[in-house]
Amino acid sequence: MRRPDMYTVAKLLYIVLILFIIISPFAFIFYRAVTFRRPTGVEFVGLRFFEEITEDYWRALGNSLLVGLLVALLDFAIALPPAYILSKYDFKFKKVLTAVLVAPMFTPDVVAGVGLSTVYFRYYHLYGTLLGTVLGLASTSYPMMLLPLLVSIRSLDPTYEEAAKTLGATPLQTILRVVIPLIGPGIFSGFLLTFVWSINNYLLPLFITGPGIDLLAVKLYSDIRWWGLLGRVAAEASILQLATFGVMLLYLKTIGTKYLTGFSF
8 Å CB contact between 195 and 141: no
Judged by beta carbon, residue 61 or residue 109, the one nearer another protein is 109
In the complex, minimum distance from the CB of residue 246 to another protein, in angstroms, rounded to a whole number: 12
108-117 long-range CB contacts below 8 Å, 24 or more apart? 109/140, 109/201, 109/203, 109/204, 110/203, 112/136, 112/139, 112/140, 112/204, 113/203, 113/204, 113/206, 113/207, 113/208, 114/207, 116/204, 116/207, 116/208, 117/207, 117/208
Query: What CA–CA distance (Å, rounded) separates 20 from 33?
Result: 19
Judged by beta carbon, residue 51 or residue 95, the one nearer another protein is 95
DSSP assignment of 107-147: S-HHHHHHHHHHHIIIII--TT-HHHHHHHHHHHHTHHHHH
Judged by beta carbon, residue 26 or residue 188, the one nearer another protein is 26
In the complex, minimum distance from the CB of residue 188 to another protein, in angstroms, rounded to a whole number: 15
Judged by beta carbon, residue 29 or residue 169, the one nearer another protein is 29
In the complex, minimum distance from the CB of residue 103 to another protein, in angstroms, rounded to a whole number: 6
In the complex, minimum distance from the CB of residue 13 to another protein, in angstroms, rounded to a whole number: 11
CA triple 146-206-229, angle to 5 deg = 115
In the complex, minimum distance from the CB of residue 249 to another protein, in angstroms, rounded to a whole number: 7
38: helix, strand or coil: strand
Burial 135-154 (b: 16+ CB within 10 A, else e): bbbbbbbbbbbbbbbbbbbe
In the complex, minimum distance from the CB of residue 75 to another protein, in angstroms, rounded to a whole number: 10
Task: Provide the residue type at 58 as one letter.
Answer: W
